[in-house]
Amino acid sequence: MNLKTNKKIVNSVIENEFLHISEFKEYEDLKENKELVNIDNERDKIYEKLFEVAPGHNELIDDLQSAECNYWCMVARYYFKMGVIAGTTNLSFLKDTGIIEYI
């Protein structure tokens, strides 16, 4: 296989793992994170307030929510990919410690 094909396969594997985690593990793993839950609740309150104070602009607020979601999904994908790269290169020694499953 050539470099271009290998890169495409690796990127597909990383994307698949990202989607698997976000679909099947994210909620369960993060629902106990009080800081994240509080931030999420605060964001929901702000959006509720926007809907109250800007009647007739629901579509614009929905567009804002969609843009925010798309932005943070792209940021998460970036950091996930960078984490995979770091984990397989300069952090690969951690597999020898035997503590990875406890992190």
97 or 58: which leads in pLDDT: 58
| Nearest CA-CA partner of 80 in 8, 2, 1, 26 | 26
The confidence score (pLDDT) of residue 94 equals: 83
The CA distances from residue 50 to 31, 38, 57, 72, in Å, are 25, 18, 9, 20
For 31-83, the pLDDT digits (tens) are 999 999 999 999 999 999 999 999 999 999 999 999 999 999 999 999 999 99
The tally of domains found in the chain comes to 1
Which tokens go with 39? 């931030």
Q: Which residue has the higher pLDDT, 91 or 1?
A: 91
DSSP 1: -
Range of the domain at 33: 3-102
